[in-house]
Amino acid sequence: MKKIVGLLFLLVFAFVGCQNKQLSLPQNIVYDYEGFIIWDEVENADEYLINIEENEFVSQVAVFDITDIITEKGIYDVEIIALADDYESSVPAIFSIGVDYNLNATIDLTIQGDSLIWEPIFLANHYLVSYGFEFAIVDDTSFDLSSLSSGDHAITVQAVFPGGSKTETFTINYTK
pLDDT tens-digit profile of 166-176? 999 999 999 99
pTM of the model: 0.76
Largest CA distance in the chain: 102
Q: Which domains does the chain have, with CATH numbers?
A: 20-99 (2.60.40.10), 110-175 (2.60.40.10)
**pLDDT at res. 156:** 98
CB 173 within 8 A of CB 154: yes
113: left (phi over 0), alpha (psi -120 to 50) or beta: left
Q: What is the pLDDT of residue 33?
A: 83
With b meaning 16 or more CB within 10 Å and e meaning fewer, what string describes 69-83?
A: ebeeeeebebebbbb
Q: Which residue stretches of the chain have pLDDT < 70?
A: 1-20
Cβ neighbours of residue 134 closer than 8 Å, sequence gap 6 or more? none
The whole-number pLDDT of residue 53 equals: 87
Secondary structure element (H or E) that encloses residue 55, with its range: strand 55-59
pLDDT in tens, 87-127: 999 999 999 999 999 999 999 999 999 999 999 999 999 99
Element of type H or E holding 24: none
